[in-house]
Structure 1
Amino acid sequence: MFDSHYEYAGHVRRDNVVAMPTRGPAIREPGGLSRFGLMYGASPAMREVFDLLERVGPTEAAVLVVGESGCGKELVAQTVHQLSPRADAPFIAINCGALPGSLIEAELFGYEKGAFTGANRTHPGVFERAEGGTLFLDEITEMPLEMQVRLLRVLETRCFTRVGGEREMRCNVRVVAATNRDPHQAVVEGALREDLLYRLAVFPIALPPLRERATDVLLLARHFLDELNREHGTHKKLTEASEAAILRHPWPGNVRELKNCLQRAYIMSENWVEVDPESAMPGMGARPALRPGVLEFEVGTSLPDMERRMIIATLDKFAGNKRKTAEVLGVSLKTLYNRLNEYARREARYATA
């Protein structure tokens, strides 16, 4: 149900976000879009999401956001934070799938100086850094099961101990979690503890993929182009052919893919922006022909590019399950993470060129 495109490994990101009014309807933007918190949309599916956020934001309920990669799950978490009484306190985000099992405990709960080799100072974990605010746990189904047990206890007792420490510490954080997998299927497959699921999913929110937001696609494309024009003092416009191509494309990478595509096209265009979502990204080689379960490559495609596409397609097949992907491809989980980080850096270079 919630097949992943792919999501790059990340780390702890923002500490604070600007507070906004705690209540109120979506704000109508020029061009037909509505803005609610940090999110944009005009489709019935997004209006429903806005309504859910308006209801749950001011509460203390734990929220589980479920949706494909690139849909904006972190924006949902930030909007929940902004709508809450905790809006002036820290917002901390961590990608549970980005850290090796040996490091995730220290990143979550911190460690004392001398707790292990290389621990040259005391380090507060994300539960401490988010004190009084909101902690966003992305890719929760990628967290090792033994750590899920520890996390469940912390959520229930609001107490934790740093690695290498003896003093129990209390925490006051609101947790918003997210996954790009069907959480109930993840329980069946043994990737998520059932008791943790029900502790996190007090208020679940299903975020629709872009292909189910037909009325939003072109509005978002124009919005992203308007942002680029304002940023650079230009007046570029989409061609009619580009708008038609945008409407035809299924956007498997969702809003993230759309935004990156618009940015690349903007950089390459003069006054009229030509968008071709079906073309390969610069430097990435030819796009392979697709049949269900099959990848086909043109003769002359580089081995690194073939490897990259095979990794991404296998991640798709196993709904973002990195452990299963690594096992099937015959590589270590560390090697898979290294490859994904490499692809993330490469994509970032093209997006900011």
Structure 2
Amino acid sequence: MPQVLLVDDDPESIGWLSEFIKAEGYTVGSVDSLRAARIHLTRSRPEVILTDLMLPDGQGIELVNEFPAGEAPELVVITGHASVESAIEALRAGATDYLVKPVDVERLRGILQRIPKAEHFRAEIGELRNELLRLGRFGHILGNSPVMRRLYDQLARVAPTSASVLLIGESGTGKEVCAQTIHELSRRKRQPFLPLNCGAVSPQLVESELFGHEKGSFTGADRQHQGFFERANRGTLFLDEVTEMRPDLQVKLLRVLETGSFMRVGTNDPIATDVRLIAATNRSPEKAVSEGRLREDLYHRLNVFPIHLPPLRERGTDIELLAEHFLAELNEQEQTAKRFSPEAIAALYAHSWPGNVRELKNYVHRAFILADEVIEADMAPEGFLQPAHSPVLTIRIGTPLDEVNRRVMEATLLECGNVKRKAAEILGISLKTLYNRLAAYNAGKVEGDAEGFDGEDIEEEYEDGAAEEYRGKRA
């Protein structure tokens, strides 16, 4: 039978909480101080620690430090100091959830029902890490670059908790996929995951979508409607572009987060809800606060665990990995075997991808439609090959030097519109050296001849007797 350790110096609280938790099917141990809790933990390991925040000899959250990283049991903080700030700080310090005195028994019951043994989550996250090593995939997210590995570590740490998460990233970076990954690694995984884009819904309808409405509450309300907070009970609600929400609705959202209840439009009867909130924005939240687009108190309530999603241009070889993945999906759907040319791959690295992963996916789909067998660089949309600023070529640390040289040369040629003389000048090498290196990169061609170039091309561009030397080689 799973065990709960109660840490509280109030005998009355210990008494009724013990009886309630036993009735829920747990065994209960109780102590009245941090020192007594530490002694208890040397003898047994509970599945859940339910601790008052303020104890005679310190704060209950300090018990997190009694365990090695990743091995702490679930720790729920109870605070009579009903400031949301104290609860948020507890979550940031490592608590998995919090309760405010007087404790709501339904909320406590929900917490207990959500808490299986922590080993389950560690095992699941371990499996995802193994999948990352094998396939470059972490759940629904694809990518193996260092910035993405740091992102996966953050997702793995916050997912098993009940902390609110604020995802910050440019449009197209995959905020909804990250939110879904957090949900599927949490104790709420068997409950609903509902996404709502606050910027895509009419401002007049957002309140009804979030909180629901009663029949007849406004023109056209011909039936009762359950909102997202009602339908996502015990699950996860993902609010994308939260800075686009009207200020008056931000006040109501804050009230739900603080009280755990809401009211449908057209009624004053509160409805309890247990929802984990994940919010997202493609703006700087601090700037949105300074501009009055986001309430400061709501920002601090959402910003318990902020996660910044990297843009595609900072993800190195993930660009190629994602492009090949999207192409493989299309090949499987259409029973084809299309592929990228080396020049097309070089073009991927030369582009800045302002639309991020969404733009890359759309580009691959378009190029797939246009290509017969090979996707060439010239199948890119207009402006794709001529970014407004100098392109950046990202190469993973540890890439062999020959491969580095090849990619730099191909990207430079692409940037120069395949004018070899200009590319040679930029690279600081002779035209002859450029052709020799191109020839070396194209196995199976005549020595000294680069793929796609004939003798006339080379003779026309060679200087200072190089054409004669080249003719001698071909002879």
Q: Tell me the TM-score normalized by structure 1.
A: 0.72
Moved over 6 A (4+): 289-292
Hey, what does 2:160 align to over in structure 1? 58
| Residue equivalent to 1:264 | 366
Provide the residue aligned with 2:210 in structure 1. Answer: 108
2:178 matched residue in structure 1: 76
Q: Which amino acid aligns with 2:304?
A: V
In structure 2, distance between residues paired with 1:291 and 1:27: 40
Aligned with residue 299 of structure 2, among 178, 181, 197 = 197
Q: Is the 8 A contact 2:172 2:357 kept in 1?
A: yes
Match of 1:154 among 249, 256, 262: 256
Unaligned 5+ runs, structure 1: 1-19, 281-285, 293-353
- Note if 1:26 corresponds to 2:129: yes
Asked whether the equivalents of residues 112 and 162 of structure 1 are also in contact (C-alpha less than 8 Å), the reply is yes
TM-superposed CA distance for 1:29, in Å, is 6.4
Match of 1:124 among 226, 250, 264: 226
Residue of structure 1 in register with 2:376 after alignment: 274
Asked if 1:38 corresponds to 2:140, the answer is: yes
Shift of 1:291: 6.5
Q: What is the alpha-carbon distance in structure 2 between the residues aligned to residue 203 and residue 145 of structure 1?
A: 22
May I ask how many residue pairs the two structures share in their alignment?
267
Q: CA deviation at 1:279?
A: 2.0
Deviation at 1:28, TM superposition (A): 4.0
1:98 partnered with 2:169: no
Distance (Å, rounded) in 2 between the aligned partners of 1:105 and 1:40: 35
* Contact map agreement 1:66 1:182 (CA 8 A) in 2: yes
Q: State the AA in 2 paired with 1:68.
A: E
Q: Does 1:253 align with 2:355?
A: yes
Partner Cα separation in structure 1 for residue 344 and residue 266 of structure 2 = 57
1:187 is paired with a residue whose SS is: helix
Partner of 2:459: none
Alignment correspondent of 1:67: 169
Secondary structure in 1 aligned to 2:278?
strand
> Is 2:289 the partner of 1:187?
yes
Q: Contact between 2:351 and 2:387, CA under 8 Å: does it hold in 1? A: no
Q: Hey, what's the Cα distance between the residues in 2 that align with 1:216 and 1:33?
A: 12
Displacement of 1:26 after TM fit? 2.6
Shift of 1:142: 0.6
Residue equivalent to 2:61: none
| Residue of structure 2 aligned with 1:226, choices 325, 328, 333 | 328
Amino acid at match of 2:129: A
State how far apart, in whole Å, the 1-side matches of 2:387 and 2:332 are. Answer: 38
Alpha-carbon spacing, 1:22–1:124, altered in 2? closer, same or farther (3 Å): farther
- Deviation, structure 1 residue 274: 2.6
SS at match of 1:64: strand
Query: Secondary structure, in 3 states, of the residue corresponding to 2:125?
Result: coil
Pick one of 307, 311, 318 that aligns with 1:209.
311
**CA contact 2:339–2:374 (8 Å) conserved in 1:** yes
Deviation, 1:107, is 0.8
In the alignment, is residue 86 of structure 1 matched against residue 188 of structure 2? yes
Amino acid at match of 1:265: A
- Quote the Cα distance in structure 2 between the aligned partners of 1:275 and 1:60: 47
The question of whether the paired residues in 1 share the 8 Å contact of 2:370 and 2:379 is answered with no
Matched-pair contact (CA < 8 Å) for 2:367–2:380: no
- 1:277 deviates by 7.4
Task: Provide the C-alpha distance between the structure 2 equivalents of 1:105 and 1:33, rounded to a whole number of angstroms.
Answer: 42
Q: 1:239 aligns with which of 341, 348, 360?
A: 341
The offset of 1:165, in angstroms, is 1.6
Distance in 1 of aligned mates of 2:351 and 2:345: 10
In 1, Cα distance between equivalents of 2:191 and 2:341: 44
Residue type of the partner of 1:76?
Answer: C
User: RMSD over aligned Cα, in angstroms?
Assistant: 2.2
Counterpart of 2:271 in 1: which secondary structure? strand
How far apart are residue 275 of structure 1 and its match? 4.6
Equivalent position amino acid for 2:221 in 1: A
Q: Which of 248, 253, 274 is residue 172 of structure 1 equivalent to?
A: 274
Aligned to 1:136: 238
Identity across matched positions, percent:
54
1:320 counterpart residue number: none
Shift of 1:228: 1.2
Aligned match for 2:247, one of 133, 145, 154: 145
Tell me: CA distance 1:256–1:43, structure 2 relative to 1, closer, same or farther (3 Å).
same
Distance 1:291 1:254, change over 3 A: closer
Give the structure-2-normalised TM-score.
0.54
Q: Is the 8 A contact 1:249 1:277 kept in 2?
A: no
Contact 1:27/1:35, CA 8 A, preserved across alignment: no
SS at match of 1:26: helix
Q: Distance in 1 between matches of 2:324 and 2:217?
A: 52
Aligned mates of 2:217, 2:162 — CA distance in 1: 34
* Higher CA-based Rg: 2
Deviations along 1:64-111, one digit per CA (max 9) or x if unpaired, are 000000000000000000000111111100011112222111110000
Change (3 A) 1:203 1:146: same
Structure 2 CA distance for partners of 1:88 and 1:73, relative to 1, 3 Å = same
8 Å Cα contact 2:132/2:138 also seen in 1 = no
Q: Distance in 2 between matches of 1:245 and 1:57?
A: 37
How is 1:247-326 mapped onto 2 (pairs within 5 angstroms)?
A: 247-276=349-378, 279-280=381-382
